[in-house]
Chains A and B, each alone.
Chain A
């Protein structure tokens, strides 16, 4: 006996997604068109479990979502470093609250996409801001370290050296000389 089947793919996928998400035990709503929202925080381990379950059905969680998330994390960090510098809460708390997501999850996604850590990215941003202040303002390094919320000027110097491989004064010297050369050539 030969039987022919006809599929409604949209209905089919919606049903699978609904069932699997219900099994997972977290509140969600389906937006349609291959999108759904979790209405509560989902730990990374659960996300991985879900990815594996979906893969069995040939459903992929689009990585791009992660890139979007990484961008949001970066935006939050830039805002934190540039405008909320005098902040007294820990950066992990700040970022988690800003994005309303679990920090461990955010931190894992960030490392996976950028091959660097959130902590390292914060340091890069702070050092960049320090460079800008060194070049564009008359502030000395001590004043910059205070403005960027470092515990001491030595702490800033050490972090600068670790990130760039050179001391703040060596950096300033090179930028200064580059300017002199550029002026001579004009």
Chain B
């Protein structure tokens, strides 16, 4: 029917310009369905988290933060190579803890970018009128932001690792440390992405989203570290350790000091022991699963 349309020429209002309309062509090619659509949304969101495929302006912040994340690692490597040090100035597992402000800023800027825009411009119904379903949307967005965070946090570790090998440090030690660091930042990426997306998905206003994510991450960390310091001074170290359950970054710190051979940033450098560590792991996983569940609930209501 459509293909039988005879060619016709449309005159544009410009007059002598003619656009030759070859008629409507129907599409008989493959339709790759739900899983392909989910992958497309994932890759589009991941690229978007670094401003790719978006305006030049939106590339500035994520790229800048990426560079800020990597520069200290490059400097450490340079110093280690130049001074022929026996080990790197900073553990792999410690790097993300030290750079947490940059990570928080990245989450705060990109989580709202990823989900608030779709809500604000009401693009969500266009997704759900296609084969994908709520779960596909949530998982694609979650995975994309977690991957973007992983790139942000793992890239400097890679710089450190390559630098350490160039400086001819012990291969086994470095590889083990690097692997532990990767596990730690993977967990951190999942946790931060989940918290960031849950907060951002509540508001269609990007500004509110950014402010709320920063507030939650910094206030929780500020409160926890203050309380921990007080507990430390008063000599109730165990209580101090458990307070660490209440902020994302101290959670990660607790998990990695208990299981990933990291030195803790808790007061006095004393992190949770193995038993307490299990609690930290459970809370971390609970938060990740909980974030996912909350996102699912949030998007169930966003129909057309």
Tell me, yes or no, whether A binds B. Answer: no
Q: Which residues of A contact B (CB under 8 A)?
A: none
Q: Which residues of B contact A (CB under 8 A)?
A: none
